[in-house]
Amino acid sequence: MDGLNRVDGEEVTVYRVADGLPDDWVTALRGARDGGVWIGTAGGGLGHFRDGRFTSYTTRNGLSSNVVTSLYEDAPGTLALVLSGRPAAGRGCHERPPRLHDRPPPD
């Protein structure tokens, strides 16, 4: 679609794939406990934006699908995802995202 828009006062910054966003079609956003933002996309998997940098998690990192339709991070920091209509969570489920709850994204 149109990427991710960040509004700071009257200034708008648009992030797209060329800037590191996993996919230009953003389907879900969730504030992260580390001060960043989790970003679900329609084909680029899961993104994490913090300190002006993107980190991406895809099927290459262990996700079963690159379509993320919903995100939730609980108080202990477990990130739960819905991938192509199927739930996945960081603990106690059949599918586990690639150790997202165990450490912050790599620099």
What's the confidence (pLDDT) of residue 40? 94
Task: Give the position of tokens 């060329």.
Answer: 18
Q: What is the pLDDT of residues 20-34, one digit of tens each?
A: 999 999 999 999 888
Q: What is the pLDDT of residues 50-95, one digit of tens each?
A: 999 999 999 888 888 899 988 888 777 788 888 886 555 554 333 4
Indicate if the alpha-carbon torsion angle 36, 20, 26, 42 is positive or negative. negative
Strand, coil or helix: 27: strand
Task: Give the position of tokens 């989790």.
Answer: 38
CA distance 63 to 15: 23
What mean pLDDT is predicted for residues 8-28? 95
Count the alpha carbons within 13 Å of 19 in the hemisphere toward its beta carbon.
Answer: 16
